[in-house]
Structure 1
Amino acid sequence: MIHKLLIANRGEICCRVIKTAKRMGILTVAVYSDVDQDALHVSLADEAVYLGPAPSKQSYLCADKIIEIALQVGADAIHPGYGFLSENAEFARLCEQNNIIFVGPPIGAIEAMGSKSAAKNIMQKAKVPLVPGYHGDEQSLDILKSHADAMGYPVLLKAAAGGGGKGMRQVWQASEFKTALEAAKREAMSSFNDDLMLVEKYLTQPRHIEIQVFCDQHGNGVYLFERDCSIQRRHQKVVEEAPAPGLTDDLRQQMGEAALKAAKAINYVGAGTVEFLLDVDERFYFMEMNTRLQVEHPVTEFITGQDLVEWQIRVANNEPLPLHQKQLTINGHAFEARVYAEDPDNDFLPSTGRLTLLRAPAESAYVRIDTGVQQGDEVSVYYDPMLAKLIVWDMDRSKALARLHLALAQYHIEGVTTNLAFLNKLTQLEDFKQANIDTGFIEKHQTQLAQYSGAQSSTLVPMAALALMLKRQQHKSVAQQDQYSPWSANNTWRANETYSETFDLLVNNESHQVCITQSENKHQLQFNINYQNQSFLCTGVINQQALISTINGHKTSLPFCAHDLGYTLCHPSGLVRFSAVAADLGLSEDNNQHHNFAAPMNGTVVAILVQKNESVVAGQSLIVIEAMKMEHAIKATKAGKVTEFYFKVGELVDGGAELLAFDTEE
C-alpha cells in the first residue's frame, strides 16, 4: 500500500486529496511557493516543503524539483491533482524513472490524449464520432484559415495541448481569424508551452456532456455516468450537474459505452473523463479526453456514493476496481457551482485582494465545500481565481436546486469581487430551472444576468446606519476616563438638546439621507432612524464579525466586516456595502481625467499589438495583460494613435496603472 503521498499541486484540489489520503491512513506531503507558505493546503498536510517563487513556471511546474522533494521526504507516490503537471507525460516518466508511483494514467495514454489533434485521429480509428475539423500538423495561417473558410463560420480554435478553456477562441467571421489565432497561440504557449492549434466546426446549440470513466490494471473498466457542464464562460465551466437532465437511459448507455471504447483505445488506467458535444438532434461527438481527475468530480461522487480519489489511489496501488458496471447506480441529483474571484459585470476579470470576510454555508449530507482558502488569505495574480467549489445534493433536480439557492445565499465573501451574486441569479433563471441549457446559455441570458439586483429590503439603509453608529461607539478612545462625559462623545451631542444628526449614507453606490436621534433605555442605546419619512426604532450590537440588530421588533444577525472603503453587511439577497459620505469642504479638484487605458487588474504585459504613432481604429486591440491564467486586451475607444507605451512585454503592472498615452483623431 502507498505509505506517503506527495501532492504536486496547491489550493482546493490539494486539500481534497489530503483529506482522502488521511482517511486511508496515508501520510501526506504538500509543496508550496513563496505566496503559498501560509496556505490551507500547507497546514493540512503532514509535511510541507518549499518549492520556489510564486510564478508557476518557477514552482508548481518544476518537475525535476518536485521529484527531488519526493525522494528527499521518502514519498513513494505523487498525486498531480489537475492542471499544472497532471497531464504531463514527461513528469509521469520522471516518476517512473525514480520508482515513484504516479497516481494517474500510463505515460502512453497521456501522450495519446495530450495532443487534441492526435487524439482525434485515434478516436476516428476507434469509430468514436467526431466533430468535423482540421487536426493536422501544418500550422501556417493560410492553411488553418483555408480549412476554416471551407467549413464555414463560426469555427472554434483550440490548443492541441490545451484544457480548461485556455488557448481557445470562437471565430465568427473570416476577418476575425488572424487576430483570434494569434491570441489563442499566445495563450496556449503561455499555459502549455505548445501553440499547435486545431480548427473545428463550432456547433451553435450543443450541450457539453462528459462521461467519468475508470479503468484498472487488470483489464476492468466502468463509466460512472455523466455530468452536464454546459454552463460556461470563456469556455470554462461555471456550474455543473449530474446526472445530465433529460438524458434517456438509452442515450446514457450509448455515451458511456463510447467513452469506454475511447479509454480502451489507448489502454487507459485510472480516472479519466471523455468529453462530448451533444447536439439538439441527440447526436454526440467526441471532443477530448482529460487524462486526470476533473474539477467537477464531486457531483459524480455525490450521485454514486463513491470517493474517486480513493479509487485513484487504489488503482495506482494495483488493486482492482471496487465495483463493476452493474453495481453502479445513480442516486439523486447534484450541482457544483464554482466560486471565483472575478467580476461578472466587467467581462469576468479576475479580482485580487485579501479575504477580509469568508463565511461558507455549513457542510452536511446535502452540502459540501471544497476550498483551499480561508479568511485572511491573499488572492494573488499568480494562479487560477477559483476560491472554492460549492456542491449540493438532494433526491431530485428541483430539490437539489433549492439546496443550491439556499447555500449560495449563505455564502459570503468580502475583500475581492466574486461571482456569488451572478451564480445566484443564473441558477434562478427560469430556463435554468427548466434545464433549457446549452453552452451558449450565459451569452443568451446576458441581459438578464447583467441586471443589477442587489440586496432587497426596506430596512437595509436603517440597518447600515445602525451599524455605522455602533462602530462609532466602538471607536471611542480607550484613554477616555469618563465614557458618559459629553466631552468624550464622538457624535454631535449638544447641551440641553436631544442628540440628533442628519447625514448622507452611501449604500451600494447610492446616496441616502438619514436622520438619527439617540437615547438610552435600560442601559442599551436606542436609535430612532428616520428614512424616507419612515421611522425605524433600532437597537443592536456588533459582535464577532456579525451585526445583531433589532429594527421595529424584527431581530436579525448578519455577517459584518470593515475594510478600507467602509463596511459590508452580508444580507441573504446580496452584499450591502456602505459608508458615510464625507462632507464636501471644497478642497477636492476634479481634473476630469478619463482613464480609458488603465490596467484592469494586476498582471503582466504579454503583447503590444500596435506600433507607437500607428493609426488605429475604434475597437482595435492595443496591448494585452495576462493575470490568473487569463488574457485581457485593452482596446482603443476611438480612432487615433498611441503616442507612448509605459510598459514593455514581460513587465508587471498594478491594477489601475496607466498603460499608454493616446491621442484621438480630431
Structure 2
Amino acid sequence: LVRSAAELAAAMAQARSEAEHAFGDSRLILERALEGARHVEIQVFADARGNCIHLGERDCSVQRRHQKLVEESPSPAVDEGLRARMGEAAVAAARAVGYVGAGTVEFLLDGDSRFWFMEMNTRLQVEHPVTEALTGYDLVEWQLRVADGEALPVTQQEVRYCGHAIEVRLCAEDPARDFLPQSGRVALWRPADTVRAEHALESGGEVSPYYDPMIAKLVAHGRTRDEAREKLAAALDATVALGLPTNKSFLAAVLRDETFARGAATTDFLAQRRFARPEPQAADYAIAAALLATNAGYGEWQSWSNSPARGMHLCLDEREIALQFERGAYRAGVELRVLAIEGHEARIELAGAEERVPFIVAEGAVHLARGGASFSFRDHSHQPGVRRGAALGDGRLVSPMNGRVAAVHAQAGETIATGQALIVLEAMKMEHGLALPAPVRVKSVHVAAGAQVSPGHLLIEFEPA
C-alpha cells in the first residue's frame, strides 16, 4: 500500500522482487487502494454447452499479508440484491472469455455496496468447501463431469443456500513473530472430529519449508452464523497440533473477537489488532514437569528411599522447577495428580477437577495442549546453563527460518540504524526483513543474495555502533 509519492519507488522495488522470485515475471499492475474494504468473491461454474451460473459469494476479508485466513458464506455485508448484482457481473466476466469449469471472480466491496473487479482465479479455491457446505454440491465432481462434456446439474434458479459456513486455514506460522513461517516435525496431530477437516498430516510428519505454510483447513456449518462461528472456535480448541508453532489459538481468538462476531471485519481487521499469544501459567509448567517425571522414568523416581516424599529439580525452558511427589500427588506451585496416561493423553486432577491433557515427550521437549492453547517446554534439566540474552548480545544475526536470501543491505564497516533491514529473506512467497533493535556497526557479512539458509545459519556479525 503506497500512501505518498515518496514511498512509491521502494514499494515497487519490493513488489517486483517478490513477483520475480515467485512467478518469474516482475511486471506490476497498479490499482486504486480501497481501505476498509471487504474481499468478496463469487463462485462461478460454466459448462461447454453455454450454461454459466454462480453459487453465491464468500467473504475472505480476514487476511494477513493479503493472504486469506478466514472465509465465510454468506457474507455479513451482502444481501440478496447485492448478491444478484455481483453474481451477474461474475457470470458476465466468465461468459466474456468463453470460460468452462470452476472459477472464482474476486471483488473488493466498499461500505456503500460498490464493488470493484480484482481478478479471476481459473480453478477451485482453497475455500471451495465453504460453498459446498452451504449448497450441498460437490464442486470437485462438477469439475470432472463438466470436463467430460456434461451439462451443469442445476440452473441458476435452482441454486439454494442453507445456513452459514466458515473455514479457517491452519498454518505452521507464528502470529507472535509477524506470522513467520515454521517448519519441522508435527509431534502430535489430532484434528477435531466435529467439523470438516482437510489435511494430509499425521503425527511425526514433517512440515517442509518449501511450500505454503497451510497445513490443514477446518470448515464448520451451522444454521446461523453464530452457531457456525462458535462450533469452529470450539473445534480449534479441540484440535491437537503439537511440536511446532501454529496459528490455531490465534484463529480461535479471531472467531471470538467482538468485531468479527458482529460481522464487521474488513481487510484491515488484523492490521488494527494484536492478539496476545497464550502464555503458560504455573499450572502448565507443573503439569509438564509431572508428565515428564511420570513418562520419562527418571532414576530419581526409581531409587529406593524410606522417605514417603521424593523431589527432583527440572529446568523447562529457562524456568527452574522444584517438583515434589508425595502420596500420589505432585507439587510445583500447584498440586495435581496424574490419574492415568492413555497413549498420548493424560487424565489429571487439578484443583479438585479432572481434565484430559493431550501431550507428547519428543526430541527433548514436553509438548502439551490445554485450554485451547499449545505449549512446548524444552527440557534443560540435564544440560549446562545457557547464557541468557545470547540471541541479542553475542553480536550475531542468524536466520530465524528456512529461506532464500533475497537481498543484503549491509556491508562490512557500515553503520546500520535501528530497525533498518540488514538482510531480506524470502520464504513461502513472502519477504521478511531482518533488523536489529539498536544501531550497530557491521563487522562481517556471511551470505550473499541467492543463498539458501536454514534456522541458526550465521548471516552477519556486528558490534554496537
TM-score when normalising by structure 2: 0.92
CA contact (8 A) 1:372 1:388 kept: yes
> Alignment partner of 2:377: what SS?
strand
> Alignment partner of 1:183: what SS?
helix
> Alignment partner of 2:165: what SS?
strand
1:444 pairs with 272, 287, 292, which one? 272
- The answer to whether 1:578 aligns with 2:377 is yes
- Post-superposition CA distance 1:114-150 (Å, at most 9, x none): xxxxxxxxxxxxxxxxxxxxxxxxxxxxxxxxxxxxx
> Alignment partner of 1:171: what SS?
coil
1:231 pairs with 40, 62, 65, which one? 62
- The answer to whether 1:518 aligns with 2:346 is no
Gapped regions of structure 1 (runs ≥ 5): 1-169, 476-488, 520-525
CA 1:325 to 1:492, structure 2 compared with 1: closer, same or farther past 3 Å? same
- The answer to whether 1:222 aligns with 2:30 is no
Quick one: distance in 2 between partners of 1:496 and 1:614?
A: 66
For residue 370 of structure 2, what is the amino acid of its counterpart? Answer: H
- Post-superposition CA distance 1:396-425 (Å, at most 9, x none): 100001110110001111222100011111
Aligned equivalent of 2:450 = 650
CA 1:240 to 1:591, structure 2 compared with 1: closer, same or farther past 3 Å? closer
CA 1:606 to 1:539, structure 2 compared with 1: closer, same or farther past 3 Å? closer
For residue 543 of structure 1, what is the amino acid of its counterpart? Answer: E
Aligned equivalent of 1:453 = 278
CA 1:279 to 1:588, structure 2 compared with 1: closer, same or farther past 3 Å? closer
Quick one: distance in 2 between partners of 1:563 and 1:542?
A: 16
2:425 pairs with 625, 629, 652, which one? 625
CA 1:640 to 1:229, structure 2 compared with 1: closer, same or farther past 3 Å? same
CA contact (8 A) 1:504 1:580 kept: yes
Task: Select between 198-207 and 631-640 the one with higher mean Cα deviation.
Answer: 631-640
Residue 584 of structure 1 deviates from its aligned partner by: 8.9
Aligned equivalent of 1:500 = 310
Residue 497 of structure 1 deviates from its aligned partner by: 2.2
Quick one: distance in 2 between partners of 1:373 and 1:423?
A: 19
CA 1:196 to 1:410, structure 2 compared with 1: closer, same or farther past 3 Å? same
CA 1:588 to 1:422, structure 2 compared with 1: closer, same or farther past 3 Å? closer
Quick one: distance in 2 between partners of 1:500 and 1:493?
A: 10
Q: How does 1:210-609 map to 2 (within 5 A)?
A: 210-362=41-193, 367-446=195-274, 449=275, 451-454=276-279, 459-473=283-297, 490-491=300-301, 495-501=305-311, 503=313, 506=316, 511=319, 513-519=321-327, 526-527=328-329, 529-532=330-333, 536=335, 538-551=337-350, 554-578=353-377, 582=381, 592=390, 593-594=393-394, 597-609=397-409
> Alignment partner of 1:201: what SS?
coil
Quick one: distance in 2 between partners of 1:186 and 1:584?
A: 44
Quick one: distance in 1 between partners of 2:27 and 2:322?
A: 61
Quick one: distance in 2 between partners of 1:558 and 1:313?
A: 43
> Alignment partner of 1:453: what SS?
coil
- Post-superposition CA distance 1:221-254 (Å, at most 9, x none): 1000000000000000000001101311111111
CA contact (8 A) 1:492 1:499 kept: no
- The answer to whether 1:200 aligns with 2:1 is no
1:659 pairs with 441, 459, 462, which one? 459
- Post-superposition CA distance 1:627-657 (Å, at most 9, x none): 2222212235444553422112222112122
CA 1:640 to 1:212, structure 2 compared with 1: closer, same or farther past 3 Å? same
Quick one: distance in 2 between partners of 1:542 and 1:595?
A: 45
Quick one: distance in 2 between partners of 1:314 and 1:417?
A: 40
Quick one: distance in 1 between partners of 2:11 and 2:396?
A: 23
Quick one: distance in 2 between partners of 1:414 and 1:591?
A: 26
CA contact (8 A) 1:409 1:573 kept: yes
Aligned equivalent of 1:46 = none
Residue 517 of structure 1 deviates from its aligned partner by: 3.0
> Alignment partner of 1:463: what SS?
helix
CA 1:397 to 1:295, structure 2 compared with 1: closer, same or farther past 3 Å? same
Quick one: distance in 2 between partners of 1:663 and 1:614?
A: 11
Higher RCO by CA contacts (8 Å cutoff, separation 6 or greater): 2
For residue 237 of structure 2, what is the amino acid of its counterpart? Answer: A
Residue 493 of structure 1 deviates from its aligned partner by: 5.3
Residue 280 of structure 1 deviates from its aligned partner by: 0.9
CA contact (8 A) 2:366 2:379 kept: no
CA contact (8 A) 1:455 1:572 kept: no
Residue 287 of structure 1 deviates from its aligned partner by: 1.1
- Post-superposition CA distance 1:455-497 (Å, at most 9, x none): 67x8544433431221143x5xxxxxxxxxxxxx533856432
- The answer to whether 1:185 aligns with 2:10 is no
- Post-superposition CA distance 1:258-287 (Å, at most 9, x none): 111111111111111111111011111111
> Alignment partner of 1:468: what SS?
helix
For residue 464 of structure 1, what is the amino acid of its counterpart? Answer: A
CA contact (8 A) 2:364 2:379 kept: no
* Bigger radius of gyration among the two: 1
For residue 501 of structure 1, what is the amino acid of its counterpart? Answer: G
CA contact (8 A) 1:277 1:285 kept: yes
Aligned equivalent of 1:107 = none
> Alignment partner of 2:58: what SS?
strand
> Alignment partner of 1:491: what SS?
helix
Aligned equivalent of 1:54 = none
Residue 512 of structure 1 deviates from its aligned partner by: 6.7
For residue 575 of structure 1, what is the amino acid of its counterpart? Answer: S
- Post-superposition CA distance 1:443-466 (Å, at most 9, x none): 1112xx1x233467x854443343
> Alignment partner of 1:282: what SS?
coil
CA contact (8 A) 1:454 1:573 kept: no
TM-score when normalising by structure 1: 0.65
Identity percentage of aligned residues:
39
Quick one: distance in 2 between partners of 1:579 and 1:637?
A: 26
Aligned equivalent of 2:434 = 634
For residue 381 of structure 1, what is the amino acid of its counterpart? Answer: P
> Alignment partner of 2:249: what SS?
helix
CA 1:510 to 1:330, structure 2 compared with 1: closer, same or farther past 3 Å? farther
> Alignment partner of 2:201: what SS?
coil
Quick one: distance in 1 between partners of 2:303 and 2:443?
A: 57
Residue 552 of structure 1 deviates from its aligned partner by: 5.9
For residue 294 of structure 2, what is the amino acid of its counterpart? Answer: L
Task: Select between 312-321 and 625-634 the one with higher mean Cα deviation.
Answer: 625-634
CA contact (8 A) 1:214 1:222 kept: yes
CA 1:537 to 1:588, structure 2 compared with 1: closer, same or farther past 3 Å? closer
Residue 510 of structure 1 deviates from its aligned partner by: 7.5
Gapped regions of structure 2 (runs ≥ 5): none
Quick one: distance in 1 between partners of 2:54 and 2:192?
A: 31
CA contact (8 A) 2:396 2:461 kept: no
Quick one: distance in 2 between partners of 1:499 and 1:171?
A: 66
> Alignment partner of 1:561: what SS?
strand
